[in-house]
Amino acid sequence: MRILFMGTPDLSRTVLQALCEAGHEIVLCVTQPDREKGRGKAVQTSPVKEEALLRGIPVFQPERLRREENVAWLRDFLAEHPADVGVVAAFGQILPQSVLDMPRFGCLNVHTSLLPKYRGASPIEAAILAGEPVTGVTTMQMDAGLDTGDILLQRELAIGPEETGGSLTEKLAELGGELIVETLAQLEAGTLSPRPQEGESTYAGLIRKEAGSLDWREPADAAERRIRAFDPWPGTYTFRAGKRVKIGRAAVLPEAGETAEEKPAQRPDGEAGEDRPAPGTVLAASKKGIDVQTGRGILRILSLQPEGKKMMPADAYLRGYSLQAGEILGE
């Protein structure tokens, strides 16, 4: 089929590759504009643009596709290079109905959740944060709403206990590529059976960088899921003596479980007591890890990254930075 493709990040690139390898013709790739990234302000192109240029596919990079002049440009292009269907995968912009109606069969979306759960921009991270055992991919017929269109096909994927946002994205990207190829095959054969979304819907909004700040008052299992969900972006962090420390890996210990060493838990004032230490209190620190009291349970930090340094195991950190039981993180 002749496809108008819209997408931006690595996930989109994987879906684009699957379409090309299945023999579909991509008439145009629409992706986000080049952006300045990092301290050096180097211009960075999207993974979809990189893939399109490698394959000789034309690229369109509107700042806002909804603008009248951009809609007109796209309409004129498709008049000369008609598309049977549009495929959208993590494009990053809301499409107007006028664009959805341009291809002969409309536009299909590859969404990385089991709709109607986790509509919106961050379904992968939301599933990990919620402790879901299963997620998946949905292909849907797009309408003007936010991920509200009819479901075409769905496929499930288990979420492993050590799954991160990055590892789960890679798996769902591969699954999404397979599912959209299957969806297009059924579309060509006339065997698709769209069905409306049913059940309670949930929304996963855009993640801001500050969402990575650990709140030690939340339970240890919730903090551990946050660390995994926001790996690699935006990352999770706490503060020690006013300096940011990024957390790489962590594990949950039971409230009355083993701590890293034999040092007794202490209250913030340094005096041992029967009261639970304040959230953020370091209970113990050794080569096994750094054990921190949370609102419920103990979180063992296994790797961390001080400002200006690389990520390192907890024992390597402790060789260079003195850390004592009773110290409070997050300040």
Tens-binned pLDDT, residue by residue, of the chain (331 aa): 999 999 999 999 999 999 999 999 999 999 999 998 877 778 899 999 999 999 999 999 999 999 999 999 999 999 999 999 999 999 999 999 999 999 999 999 999 999 999 999 999 999 999 999 999 999 999 999 999 999 999 999 999 999 999 999 999 999 999 999 999 999 999 999 999 999 999 999 999 999 999 999 999 999 999 999 999 999 999 999 999 999 999 999 976 544 444 344 444 433 434 578 999 999 999 999 999 999 999 999 999 999 999 999 999 999 999 999 999 999 7
Taking alpha carbons only, the member of 219, 198, 205 closest to residue 131 is 219
Rounded to whole angstroms, the Cα distance separating 102 from 81 reads 11
Residue 29 DSSP label: E
Largest Cα span, the chain: 78
At 324, the amino acid letter reads Q
Domains, in order of start, for the chain:
2-204 (3.40.50.170), 210-320 (3.10.25.10)
When computed from its CA atoms, the radius of gyration of the chain, rounded to whole angstroms, is 24
